[in-house]
Structures are given as C-alpha cells and as structure tokens.
Amino acid sequence: MAETTITVRDNGPYIVRGEFTVVDAEGKPFEKKDVVALCRCGHSATKPFCDGAHQREGFSSAPRAGQS
C-alpha cells in the first residue's frame, strides 16, 4: 500500500497524495484521484476542493510542525 501524505501549502490548500478516498457527510465518495487539493480558506466554489480562491481572497496561514 502506498503511503498517504497531506502537505500544508503556505497560504494555500492541503495537498493529499497517495491512497485515500474523500467522502461527503453521507459517506458517498467523490471522484477518485491520486492527488487532490483541499480548501483551507473557506472561499472555494468547489468545496471541499481548492479552486484557487485563496489567492483572490488573500488567505494567509503558514503553520509549522511543532509550533503551537
């Protein structure tokens, strides 16, 4: 089984790579892909997926592991 990683992009989405399934609140799966970008800013018109709205909205967040 391939490793799954979630990368937090500075001022952008979560990038998910590997073997995973994204499901809605009813447990229904979205289209299966090898890599997806998940919205963090809340402004995407294609939630839960990123559509680049964070750039237009000026979303700013750059968390680092090990920092509170």
This prediction's pTM: 0.91
Q: Domain tally for the chain?
A: 1
Confidence category of residue 1, pLDDT binned at 50, 70, 90: low
Mean pLDDT, residues 27-44: 97
Radius of gyration of the chain (CA): 13
**Residue 40 CA to chain centroid, in angstroms?**
6
Q: Which two tokens stand for residue 50?
A: 């990123």
CATH code at position 38? 3.40.5.90
Q: Which residue range(s) make up the domain with 53?
A: 1-19+33-62
Q: Tell whether 12 is covered by a domain.
A: yes
Instruction: Give, for 56, the enclosing helix (H) or strand (E).
Output: helix 53-57
Q: Tell whether 48 is covered by a domain.
A: yes
Instruction: Give, for 15, the enclosing helix (H) or strand (E).
Output: strand 14-17
Closest of 13, 6, 15 to residue 53, by C-alpha? 13
Per-residue pLDDT tens digits for 9-29: 999 999 999 999 999 999 999
pLDDT at 67: 83
